Structure formats: C-alpha cells, structure tokens
A and B are shown apart, each in its own frame.
Chain A
Amino acid sequence: MNALIGKDDRVEIRKTIKLYIGGAFPRSESGRTYEVNSAKGDFLANVAQGSRKDARDAVLAARSAFTKWSSATAYNRGQVLYRIAEVMEGRREQFIAEVQQTSGSTTKQATKHVDAAIDRWVWYAGWADKLSQVIGTSNPVAGSFFNFSIPEPTGVVVAIAPHDSALLGLSSVIAPIIVSGNSCVVIASQNQPIPAITLAEVMATSDVPGGVVNILTGDAAEIAPWLASHADVNALDLTGITDQQLAQQLEQDAAGTVKFVRGPRTDADWMATPTLSRIRAFTEIKTVWHPMGV
C-alpha cells in the first residue's frame, strides 16, 4: 500500500517526485534519484537528486522570471501570494498526510503545521502592497529635491530551506523572498522533500509565473556551493544549513560577487508571527533625488 495516501484496496497511481524549474517538473539532468522514507522508515519515493546543472538551470529560470515578476504591481503580487494560500487550502488534507508521514508528527501537530503554513502565505500576501509604505521613506534633504527611498527586490535569491519544518519553514522562507519581487531557487529539506514538491504543484497552478520559484531536491552540501558562487545570484539565505563549516564555506563563496548572506537559523520558532526582517534582508533600498522647480 502506498504509504502516502492510499487507504482502500485500490492500486493507486504513485507520483514521480521531480524537480520544479521554470514552471516545469523535470527529472534531474544527472539522472540521479535518492530514496526518501517516511519517519517510520517506509519507502515513499525515489526523489530527484539535483545536480550542479540543475542548479544552474534553476538560476537561469529565476533570472528570466525576475524582470516581469519584479515589475508586476504590488497588488498583483499580493493576489498571487494569496492565490497560493487558496490553492493550498484545497490540498490541505494532502499536505497534512504528507507532513505527518515525513515528519512523524501526530495528525494534530501536522494539521497545526499545515494551517500555519497556509496562513503564513496570507500574512505575507498582505505585505506586498504595504512594504514600501512601511520600509520606504521620504527624506527631508537640505535642497530643492523630493528625495525618497523605496525597497526594491535584490534579484535572484538562493535559499536553503529548514530541514525540519518541511512546509511551514519552507513557506516562511520562500514567501518573504518573492513578496517583494525577487525570484528564488530553493533547496528543499533533504529528508522531507515531498511537501515541497507538492507546494511546487500548488505554485504551478496558482498564477505564480514560471521561474519565480524553483525548487530543487537533493543534497544541499552538494548543490549549494555552486549556487553560492554563481555570479547571477544576488543573495543567499542559509536558514537550513546546520553544518557550521558548510555555512562558512558558502559565505566565503558568496563574497566573490558580494552577495548579501542571511545566516543559518537553527533555533527558529516557525509558529510565531514573523518580523519584517526576512523581507528587508532581500530588498535593496533605492534613493531617488527628484528635482523641484518651476
């Protein structure tokens, strides 16, 4: 019996778990997969094991998507994020089952986790058209200028999702990156990648333009260094890196093109209401001096 969903005697159609790049679901270019088991040890799937080439394809897709996504209106981006929550809601039972199986939590815990994840998207959706008003300023300079500062997306952001919070942590990492107009490449939890790929299916059916979110499965230690040193990546979110040496190595790699790095976070309380710190981390402040005169 399929450990994932099956409850009756029917022989189910099992799903092939693939990567999510540029709005499509390719297998790893390397042809590799790795076995993912439930918390109890039952076989769940052979998941695509992302490679360097997959990582580079994902960056390319993210870069291509950036211009359009970053120039969408804030209202539009907010609606797209909200749409993600709507579509997740329809798959709520599936997410709960997957989170429960992959993390070994109780149904109650998994329900809480999934509900918080869906609500997190709603929370961030609302920020899309408020961000500039809260983080932006008009600055009273000495001179005949209207001087203002506004947040803008930094570009392509690479994130390593937390390994122990397969949907809520993942959502809490992706949402603040894309809400301001960034596109992203995310490496999902290595041992619990299935909810991430289900989230990718949500993305694919939620008006999120292809390439805005790209999800890789596999070994972060293998893939992340290629992304950290990639010249077309603008910033790094190392939230899910637990190996200090790897974190240091990635930060060093990032220095090659002066990427901003948000460091590892091992003690996160994902249930708590976030601050704006993640949104701020991946925005640039642009200041414009506009002349005044008759």
Chain B
Amino acid sequence: MKFEYAAAPESRAVVNIASNYGLFINGEFVEPHSGAFFKTVNPATEEVLSEVAEAGQADVDAAVKAARRAYDKTWSRMSGKDRGKYLFRIARLIQERSRELAVLESIDNGKPIRESRDVDLPLVAAHFFYYAGWADKLEFAGLGDNPQPLGVAAQVIPWNFPLLMLAWKIAPALACGNTVVLKPAETTPLTALAFADICQQADLPPGVVNIITGAGETGRMLVEHPDVNKVAFTGRTEVGKAIQRAVAGTGKALTLELGGKAANIVFDDAPFDEAIEGVVNGIFFNQGHVCCAGSRLLIQESVADQFIEALKSRLGTLRLGDPLDKNTDIGAINSYQQLAKIEELSKSGEDEGAERWSAQCDMPDKGWWFPPTLFTGVTQAHRIAREEIFGPVLSVLTFRTPDEAIEKANNTPFGLSAGIWTEKGSRILHMANSLRAGVIWANTFNRFDPTSPFGGYKESGFGREGGVHGLAAYLKVEDPS
C-alpha cells in the first residue's frame, strides 16, 4: 500500500538572505581584508544562496584582537549576573525567531524542517537558557571557590547541526566569562550569521562574540593564533588530530568532539516496534550526518531476520525530498563532497562482500541525495563497520550473547555513543557499564538535552559539552600541583 501525501512546504518568506555577508567582528559586519568570498549553496536545489566572506590572516587577527579587547575591557570584568542576563536575552531572541532560524537552517543545510523546527531550534534556545543560569553560580560548579575564565576561545564547528553546535560552543564559553571567535562550517554559515544579528539585537557588548566565515584554512589560522587561550573543535577525527598537533606545546586549553561509529544493540526482548523506530532514528536522523549516529546495528541473532525485514519495510516508507516539506523524513546530503564520500564507502561495502539494500525512493533531479541504505553480512573487518560514513548508511552485524555484543560494540577506535534496546532494566545498566562510550542511550537514541553532558572516549575526543561538566572546558582552576 502506498500512501500519498500532499506537499506541505514551510514558507520561505520568513527568511531574508542577503546577497553577500561580511565578517562579524567587534559587533559589526565588516568587509574582509582578504577581499575573498565564497558561495553557500542550498544542497537540495544547488541554488546559490549567498556569497560569504572568506577570512584571511588579517581578518583572523582582527577578530582575535576584538575578542581580546572585549575580554580585557568588558566581559571578564562584568558580573556573572549581568553576563547571565545577556545570555537569557539571547535565549529569548532565539525563541522569538525560531521559525525563521529553522527555515534558514533547512535551506542552508538540507535537513528536514521537521528536525530543524522540532529538535535543533528548541535545543539551541534551551542551551542558552541553561548556561545563562550558570553565569552567576560558577562557584557551585565543583571547580573551586573562584573559578576564572580562560580568555579568548577559538571555536570551530561542523555543518551537521550548525546553530546547535554554535550554541554548545558559545553559551558555556560566555557564561564562564570568555569571549569567542567562532568559525562555522563553510557549507553552512548562514544561521551563524543570523546569530550575529541576534547578538546585535541583544546589545551584547562588541567583540564578545565574533563570527568569521571561511574553510579549513581559516580554521587553521584561528586555532593557531597565538593570542587564543582555548580551542574547541567539533568535527572529523583527522582534523581533530591535526588541531591537537598544532596546539601541542602552546598551553592552550583544548576540547575535541570528534567522530564515532556507535553500536546500537538490540536484544531479543526489546520492544520491537520502538526498537525499529529507534534504529531508524539512530542512523537516518539528519541523513546520518551525526557524529553519534547509531551506524552499526548489533542485532541478537534469534530475532535478526525478523528485525531486518521489518526495518526494510519501515525504511520503504521514509519520505525523501524537499527539506522544507513538513512530511519529509530524509533531506539532502549537505554537499557534493560528502555525497561522494558516502558513495565511495558504500561501494567499498559491496566490494568487500557485504550485501547492500537501499530503499526505493524517488530522487529529486537537482541537489545531492542518498537513499536510506543498509548492509547485511557485514564483518568487523569491513570498512563500513570501522569507518565513519556520516551518511544514511547502516551496517548490520549480529551477536548471540551480551558479552559478544559488548566485545563487538567496543571494537572500534571511537567511543562517542552507544544504544541498548531491551525491556530489562538490569541489563541496561550492565551493558551501560561495560560500553566504552561517553553517551549511552537505552530504548532511545540521538536524544540531547542541555543538562546532559555529551562527549567521547578514545578517538572520539576529550572534554564534555552540556551540563555542569561542560563548564570545566571554559574555566581555569587554582591547582597547587
């Protein structure tokens, strides 16, 4: 049976995209010294949305200088109470403009409006609201009586959750009294630039938040800038390693939130339909562009055939297409480069002997798309079981005993997240105890909350974002030894 849906597009009229954007430095938009601009594109239509400044060395210098001045003259001297008030203002402004920001996010990123509207934006506002309340309570964070800010934070974020990653970086940094220079990803700069406008509306003192756009080279100049005290990066593991090397010996504080290859473990007693939905959400949420995605399904052998069949049937009903359509489940792949990477790794899956299955769905003529895909017959040696694909591709492995599931789940250089599906509470806690990952979801997946710390073990990075633990990344503590 095939259900027909009438298209239900969200209106684009709420967003107003300028034809070009400068850099947001010291509270205002300025032309780049570099004179260079690059295009940002709607990945669902390949339409050029705007031209955005590409910051060069002089621009990075100017941004760091503005952040330093704001740190010295204003922000580090301001009371926590007043810093908190600015952050509360920002949280409210985000709530007020959330529809506009959600639409803009979907246009620039390609993610379904249902996600940007119901997940990203509420979490963005909540994150600012949460850390706003910390600004005047830092002495209660368990980090000593008088924790101090670090100084200027250089923050580089990815394209998968552009505004949410901005919130995870900026909110705790500002609450702790640091100033920031943030570089959004080159394919998704627009919501960060809209956030600059929100900083202006909030009358945030100039230089406290600076947003510079550009690609990897701009990011490198920013994290290597000698007047930066803290580097926070979310993104690919290879880039994280390069940043750690670059920061080595400088004394800069560093937190890294990198890749993952999470196991989503389904036991034979799992609530069946919930688990199907959870596995789908685990890997196909946000087109699989999620560092903590449940990209390895570990299904108990006794229910494997039945589960995989039900999973395929469910994937057949997912709607792929216009990100602004409220019916859409799977949006566009964020960039051509990412699509090429997903295709290359999927091909390796076939070449190495796994069996590929993709949902039959109509693909739009323009833009970058990849159908929900799963591989069965996957062994732990296959690239698709080891490497992060960062796309809507699920590798299915089986297990017989809990110990085997633990062994397989932990057999990865990553350790960001894991999922457990079972009706047995004691088993959840036993498994959670044994899995070497920073976030464990039981009977749910890809769920976030500002009070809940997030971050990985092993090559998934170090440091936590969210919760009281997220403050430690932005505070200096007196320590005799």
Q: Does B35 contact A (CB under 8 A)?
A: no
**Which B residues between 435 and 461 are near A, CB-CB below 8 angstroms?**
437-444, 447, 449, 451-455, 457-461
A144 to chain B, nearest CB (A): 9
List residues of chain A with CB within 8 A of the CB of B142.
134-135, 276
Q: How far is the CA of A46 from the CA of B447 in the complex (A)?
A: 59
Most A CB contacts (10 A, CB to CB) among B248, B442, B477, B478 go to B248
The answer to whether A263 and B251 have CB atoms under 8 Å apart is: yes
The answer to whether B440 and A289 have CB atoms under 8 Å apart is: yes
The answer to whether A137 and B440 have CB atoms under 8 Å apart is: no
The answer to whether B467 and A139 have CB atoms under 8 Å apart is: yes
Q: Does B479 contact A (CB under 8 A)?
A: yes
What residue of chain B has the Cβ atom nearest to residue A138's Cβ?
B451
Q: How far is the CA of A255 from the CA of B460 in the complex (A)?
A: 12
Q: Does A288 contact B (CB under 8 A)?
A: yes
**Which B residues between 221 and 259 are near A, CB-CB below 8 angstroms?**
237, 240-242, 244-245, 247-249, 251, 256, 258
Q: Does B377 contact A (CB under 8 A)?
A: no
The answer to whether B249 and A251 have CB atoms under 8 Å apart is: yes
Q: Does A94 contact B (CB under 8 A)?
A: no
- Give how many A residues have a beta carbon under 8 Å from the other chain's beta carbons: 49
Report which of B413, B441, B469 forms a contact with A285, defined as CB distance below 8 A. B469
A115 to chain B, nearest CB (A): 17
Q: How far is the CA of A154 from the CA of B460 in the complex (A)?
A: 13
The answer to whether A139 and B452 have CB atoms under 8 Å apart is: yes
The answer to whether A265 and B453 have CB atoms under 8 Å apart is: no
List residues of chain A with CB within 8 A of the CB of B459.
257-258
User: Known: A142-B449, A258-B240, A289-B444. Contact between A284 and B439, CB under 8 A?
Assistant: no
Q: How far is the CA of A254 from the CA of B247 in the complex (A)?
A: 12
The answer to whether B468 and A257 have CB atoms under 8 Å apart is: no
Q: Does A40 contact B (CB under 8 A)?
A: no
The answer to whether A147 and B258 have CB atoms under 8 Å apart is: no
List residues of chain B with CB within 8 A of the CB of A261.
248
**Which A residues between 244 and 271 are near B, CB-CB below 8 angstroms?**
244-245, 247-249, 251-252, 254-258, 260-261, 263, 265, 268-270
A53 to chain B, nearest CB (A): 24
The answer to whether A289 and B441 have CB atoms under 8 Å apart is: yes
Q: How far is the CA of A98 from the CA of B300 in the complex (A)?
A: 59
Q: Does B198 contact A (CB under 8 A)?
A: no
Q: How far is the CA of A277 from the CA of B249 in the complex (A)?
A: 20
List residues of chain A with CB within 8 A of the CB of B432.
286, 288, 290
Q: How far is the CA of A44 from the CA of B442 in the complex (A)?
A: 59
The answer to whether B425 and A268 have CB atoms under 8 Å apart is: no
User: Known: A257-B413, A288-B432. Contact between A265 and B481, CB under 8 A?
Assistant: yes
Q: How far is the CA of A286 from the CA of B428 in the complex (A)?
A: 14
List residues of chain A with CB within 8 A of the CB of B447.
141, 143, 145, 289
The answer to whether B457 and A154 have CB atoms under 8 Å apart is: yes
Most B CB contacts (10 A, CB to CB) among A134, A275, A285 go to A285
The answer to whether B481 and A172 have CB atoms under 8 Å apart is: yes
Q: Does A6 contact B (CB under 8 A)?
A: no
Q: How far is the CA of A287 from the CA of B481 in the complex (A)?
A: 29
The answer to whether A286 and B437 have CB atoms under 8 Å apart is: yes
B437 to chain A, nearest CB (A): 7
Main secondary structure on A side of the interface with B: mixed
**Which B residues between 411 and 440 are near A, CB-CB below 8 angstroms?**
413, 425, 428-429, 432, 437-440
**Which B residues between 297 and 327 are near A, CB-CB below 8 angstroms?**
none
A77 to chain B, nearest CB (A): 16
List residues of chain A with CB within 8 A of the CB of B240.
258
The answer to whether A290 and B413 have CB atoms under 8 Å apart is: no
List residues of chain B with CB within 8 A of the CB of A135.
142
What residue of chain A has the Cβ atom nearest to residue B428's Cβ?
A290
Q: Does B464 contact A (CB under 8 A)?
A: yes
Report which of A141, A263, A280 forms a contact with B451, defined as CB distance below 8 A. A141
What residue of chain B has the Cβ atom nearest to residue A231's Cβ?
B413
Q: Does B153 contact A (CB under 8 A)?
A: no
Q: How far is the CA of A140 from the CA of B438 in the complex (A)?
A: 18
The answer to whether A280 and B472 have CB atoms under 8 Å apart is: yes
The answer to whether A274 and B480 have CB atoms under 8 Å apart is: yes
Q: Does B462 contact A (CB under 8 A)?
A: yes
Report which of B429, B467, B480 forms a contact with A290, defined as CB distance below 8 A. B429
Q: How far is the CA of A258 from the CA of B459 in the complex (A)?
A: 5
The answer to whether A252 and B245 have CB atoms under 8 Å apart is: yes
Q: Does B144 contact A (CB under 8 A)?
A: yes
Q: How far is the CA of A98 from the CA of B451 in the complex (A)?
A: 51
The answer to whether B438 and A287 have CB atoms under 8 Å apart is: yes
List residues of chain A with CB within 8 A of the CB of B249.
244-245, 247-248, 251-252
List residues of chain A with CB within 8 A of the CB of B480.
268-269, 272-275
Q: How far is the CA of A7 from the CA of B455 in the complex (A)?
A: 58
Q: How far is the CA of A278 from the CA of B480 in the complex (A)?
A: 11
The answer to whether A290 and B442 have CB atoms under 8 Å apart is: yes
The answer to whether B442 and A291 have CB atoms under 8 Å apart is: yes
Report which of A134, A149, A258, A265 forms a contact with B469, defined as CB distance below 8 A. A149
Q: A284-B457, A290-B432 are in contact. List 6 more A-B contacts (CB 8 A).
A: A172-B481, A258-B240, A261-B248, A277-B479, A284-B438, A287-B467
**Between-chain CB contacts (< 8 Å), 30 pairs:** A134-B142, A137-B467, A142-B126, A142-B449, A143-B447, A172-B481, A244-B249, A248-B248, A248-B249, A249-B248, A252-B249, A254-B244, A254-B248, A258-B241, A258-B258, A258-B458, A258-B461, A268-B481, A272-B481, A273-B480, A274-B479, A275-B144, A278-B481, A284-B457, A285-B453, A285-B455, A287-B452, A287-B454, A288-B440, A289-B452
